[in-house]
Structure 1
Amino acid sequence: MKMIGLLAASFRGCVWLLALLVLPVVAADTVKIGMTFPNTGRYKNLGIDQARGALLAIDEINAAGGVLGKPLELLLSASGRKGKEQEHVSELVNAGVSMAFGSSLQPQATATAAANANLLYFDTLFHSPGDRIQRPTVFYASYDAWMAAKTLAFYINQSLGGKKMFYITSDSTGGLMTEQILRKFTHTTDLSVHGQSLTRFPGPRRKEFIAAVEQARDDGAEVLVLVQAGDDLAKALQVIHELGLTTALKIVAPNMTLSVARAVGADMLEGVIATVPWSWQVAKDYRYGDGVRFTEAYVARYETNPSALAATAYSLVWHYQRVAEEAGTLDSRTLAKRLEGLTFTGLKDPQSWRRFDHLSVQSVYVVTGKPREQVMQGSLREDYFRVVSNIAGQIIVPTEKEVAERAWE
């Protein structure tokens, strides 16, 4: 008999308890939802943030009566490693989950496994459009590389247009695709002018970043684009700081997260230009009431600010509850049909699920790092960014024609 772990959390400060309690598969007294994520190694914090957001929503929903009269329960499997995507999803399905969210190091494999199992599944991580599959029960909750690049291009073309750019890019499908899209929209396709250095994926070494940054400096670059993610982005920013080039180069990071900001600190973030789909600063600056209330509840429970991933997980769990209640069922196909074309408001302005590819059409925000002294004034010393612009989702999503023609390739 398949076994699965139950996710438990301590809600005091930043203490996180991941208790793998062995449970039998069959239990009908709760509505089970699952989470997929890399639960080992350098990406495990992505799961922690999502679980925290989801558990906060679950507590609120259960206090209000649950889903179709039953309490919600969050499950995860014990196999979140690369190459275990099918096993991961199978364990969740065998445990009786009716919906799952998250991602993996091989997002297409996880989404395909969910689709084959007829499981309603929401991918929550920043991705390249080429990573999406079009299946009836699979939805994409995060913005993608095309949306980030187009949003950045509006800002770069206006504020940094004509400057010499250099790309330090993860040698991965997603990294190369993101660079190609950004070059397209910033008119920097000539590699003889706007250079490039590739770093291995996964696990780039520090010396690779040193060599790449020095190449950019010697090449006379004025703008340095870091097409990196997670710990790799943090490592690149640290190298730039150590080489004393933080102010000499304008730094652009298409995909910034709160965990990266925390890892490098305010000194290395000042002036960095990035995109985010949501942040607690966005909720505050744009006066999104539900976003502000979520932030306050999250800080009260975990004594730290929520990341965009935490906000996405929180929103999805509540969204699932509302759609299931309206439909009167947990059937994946029925709920997926109701979601197609649906406009909803989570923790920011309205967004919608596009019918043909199930992408969340949503606003994306350009942010820039604040000076250290301003960051230190905040109560949690995490007020890293100020919002400088935002672009509506309808303007920045790839069109149906562009998707059909795979315009990012």
Structure 2
Amino acid sequence: MTRLLIAMAFWTAVLPSLATAEPDDSILIGLSYPRTGHYREEGLAQMRGALLAIDEINRDGGVLGKPLRLVNRDSAARPEKARRNVDSMVAEGAVMLFGSVSSAEAIAAGEQAKTHDRLYFATIGYSNDVTTEKGHRHIFRESTSATMTGRALGQYLTQHFPDKKYFYITADYNWGHTSEDSLRSNTHTTDRALHPGVTIPFPTAKQSDYSTALQQADASDADVLVLVLYGHDLVRAIRTADNMGLSRDKQIVAPNLTQSVIEQTGSSIMVGAIGAEHWLWRVPERENSKTGMAFVDNFNQKYGIYPPSAAASAYTVIHQWADAVRRSQTLNTAAVTKALENHTYSLLKGPAQWRGLDHQNVQRVYVVKVNDRSTVIQHPSKQDYFQIVHQLDGEDAVISPDEWRSARRVAGQPETLQ
């Protein structure tokens, strides 16, 4: 309830200022994100990270001598709303667009941005097809892909849970299927008779869907329960699993385990759960990233909490786009795209690259395990949720060029981005 009241106060203070601060000489960028719906926590984090980045850039003189201004629309993580948002923000003058939590939302917004010759950055959206089968020259992805997550997490699980039986509960859409397939491949659990699984509807799952799926997991002899769910769906499933006592009998794994899920669920319920993240606030200190440590401190001072990965992604997108505009000395989409492609940088952690082949951000992936309650509350922030138990460099995690071209051929897509 406290976090909800803070969020409401945040929007009451911020939205009027966004609506009135409209200098004629500003450069407009557009954020389409879930302000409502199941992924609203991740959406709020993106807005906060974006506002912090814009404040910093404007204090340093803006871009091409002009201040940045943010326009935003609520997508509710729905693809059709994301498309309309893109149309609306471009009509208002947005020269670049970003956002999303759902992969389907990211794909839809990216396709619509292409029709307007605008770049779209998927801040969050883990399904492989965002930058593979559905990839094109107008979309970049900041977050990791399902392949990257599966390879990092698979390495750790194979080493620490050898010869164990798995049970998969998967959201029935592209992200769920590609994440499950990647993790099965990297944990040698592709035999579905030995390592069974069930799907649950998305985005219309009911409590009975979670209960039925978890009862099947409980009745199995699996040692590892993989919840290929995200956001609110993962929160509901973990609470149900805890009520059933499954966390005492099985190792809980969630491919994309975020700070907001811990905060919504409660860290005490999730102790020992294993997942993967592309950024967490402990990383800058671990990798001696001065810019990253400053981001954590500034975010904490501004909002009273430590930043989650969704905030870091939005912050990174804006700074990287602004840097590409400065280097190309133009807002022209083709020129900015060229400046981004194969550009290597370090911002909030170690080196990363916008790969020219597919516009996937190649970056280190971290396998995390949820800390016990005493560790969480010992830190002044009360947000020390994760310990990093394994990591995999981006070059080793990302889909190879040959794999990417093969996937494109199978989908009937050209072997270069169009």
Same fold (TM over 0.5): yes
Contact 1:126 1:145 in 2 (8 A): no
Work out the percentage of aligned pairs sharing the same amino acid: 35
Alignment map for 1:103-122 (pairs within 5 Å): 103=100, 105-122=104-121
Choose 89-98 or 282-291, whichever is displaced more.
282-291
2:254 matches 1:259: no
1:166 maps to amino acid: F
Q: Which residue of the partner structure matches residue 210 of structure 1?
A: 211
Amino acid at match of 1:171: D
CA distance in 2, matches of 1:52, 1:106: 20
Given that 1:13 and 1:302 are in contact with CA atoms closer than 8 Å, whether structure 2 keeps it comes out as no
Cα displacement (A) at 1:11: 9.8
Describe the SS at the equivalent of 1:247: helix
Change (3 A) 1:27 1:114: farther
- State whether residues 49 and 309 of structure 1, in contact with CA within 8 Å, keep that contact through their aligned partners in structure 2: yes
Which residue of 43, 46, 52 corresponds with 1:56?
A: 52
Quote the residue 2:416 is aligned against.
Answer: none
Q: Is the contact made by 2:284 and 2:290 (CA closer than 8 Å) also made in structure 1? A: yes
Which of the residues 33, 39, 48 maps onto 1:43? 39
Distance in 2, matches of 1:109 and 1:361, equals 22
Match of residue 15 from structure 1: 10
- Assess if the C-alpha contact under 8 Å between 1:147 and 1:398 holds in 2: yes
My pick for the range that moved more, 78-87 or 240-249, is 78-87
Quote the offset at 1:180 in angstroms.
Answer: 1.3
Higher helix share: 2
Q: How does 1:383-394 map onto structure 2 within 5 Å?
A: 383-394=384-395
Instruction: Please give the alpha-carbon distance, in whole angstroms, between the structure 1 residues aligned to 2:374 and 2:83.
Output: 48
Determine if contact 1:12/1:301 at 8 Å carries over to the other structure. no
Q: Could you say if the C-alpha distance between residues 225 and 296 of structure 1 is closer, same or farther in structure 2, counting changes exceeding 3 Å?
A: same
Structure 1 vs Structure 2 CA RMSD: 2.4
Kindly state the Cα deviation for residue 340 of structure 1 after the two structures are TM-superposed: 0.7
Aligned pair in 2 of structure 1 residues 377, 203: CA closer, same or farther (>3 Å)?
farther
CA gap of 1:12–1:110, structure 2 versus 1, over 3 A, is: closer
Deviation at 1:177, TM superposition (A): 1.8
Task: Return closer, same or farther for 1:20/1:47 CA change in 2, 3 Å cut-off.
Answer: farther
Structure 2: which 5+ runs fail to align?
412-418
Question: What are the Cα deviations for residues 80-132 of structure 1, in whole angstroms up to 9, with x where unaligned?
Answer: 54422332111111111111111255322111111121102111113211233
Structure 1 residues 111-169: Cα deviation after superposition (integer angstroms, max 9, x where no partner): 11111211021111132112333322221111011110011110011111110110011
Match of 2:135, SS state, is coil
Q: Which one is further off, 211-220 or 273-282? A: 211-220
Give the drift of 1:67: 0.8
Amino acid corresponding to residue 91 of structure 1 in structure 2: S
Q: Deviations over 1:291-312 (max 9, x none)?
A: 1110000000100111101011
Q: Which amino acid aligns with 1:276?
A: E
Letter in 2 for 1:307: P
Give the Cα separation in 2 of the matches to 1:260 and 1:14.
21
**Equivalent residue, structure 2, for 1:65:** 61
Q: Which residue of 1 aligns with 2:296?
A: 295
Residue 45 of structure 1 deviates from its aligned partner by 2.5
Give per-residue Cα distances to partners, 1:6-37, cap 9 Å, x unaligned.
xxxx999973336368979x974101111111
The answer to whether structure 1 residue 242 and structure 2 residue 243 are counterparts is yes
C-alpha contact 1:14 1:303 (8 A) present in aligned 2:
no
Change (3 A) 1:63 1:13: farther
Q: Deviations over 1:223-256 (max 9, x none)?
A: 0001000000011111111112222211111011
In the TM superposition, what are the counterparts of 1:155-174 in structure 2 within 5 Å? 155-174=156-175
> 2: distance between equivalents of 1:79 and 1:134?
21
Structure 1 residue 318: deviation in Å? Answer: 1.5
Q: What is residue 374 of structure 1 aligned with on the other side?
A: 375
Structure 2 CA distance for partners of 1:271 and 1:350, relative to 1, 3 Å: same
CA-CA distance at 1:289 after TM superposition: 1.9
Contact 1:32 1:96 in 2 (8 A): yes
* Closer, same or farther: CA 395–79 of 1 in aligned 2, 3 Å: closer
The 2-side partners of 1:270 and 1:78 are apart by 33
* Residue deviations 1:329-364 (CA, integer Å, cap 9, x gap): 111110001111110112011111111211101110
Between 148-157 and 205-214, report the one with greater CA deviation: 205-214
Q: Distance in 2 between matches of 1:134 and 1:127?
A: 13
Amino acid in the other structure paired with 1:110:
A
Cα separation, partners in 2 of 1:79 and 1:207, compared to 1, 3 Å: closer
Assess, with a 3 A threshold, how the Cα gap between structure 1 residues 13 and 94 changes in structure 2: closer, same or farther: closer
Equivalent-residue separation in structure 1 for 2:360 and 2:75 (angstroms):
27
Q: Counterpart of 1:127 in structure 2: which amino acid?
A: Y
SS in 2 for 1:77: strand
Task: Tell me how far 1:272 sits from its aligned partner.
Answer: 0.5
TM-score by structure 2 length? 0.90
User: Does the alignment pair 1:333 with 2:330?
Assistant: no
Q: Does 1:100 align with 2:97?
A: yes
SS at match of 1:252: strand
Unaligned runs of 5+ in 1: 1-9
Question: 2 CA distance for matches of 1:173 and 1:136?
Answer: 21
Compute the displacement of 1:64 (Å). 1.1
Change (3 A) 1:14 1:245: farther
SS of the aligned residue for 1:139 comes to strand
User: Counterpart of 2:415?
Assistant: none
Which region of structure 1 is more displaced relative to structure 2, 144-153 or 245-254? Answer: 245-254
Write out aligned runs for 1:265-344 (5 A).
Answer: 265-344=266-345
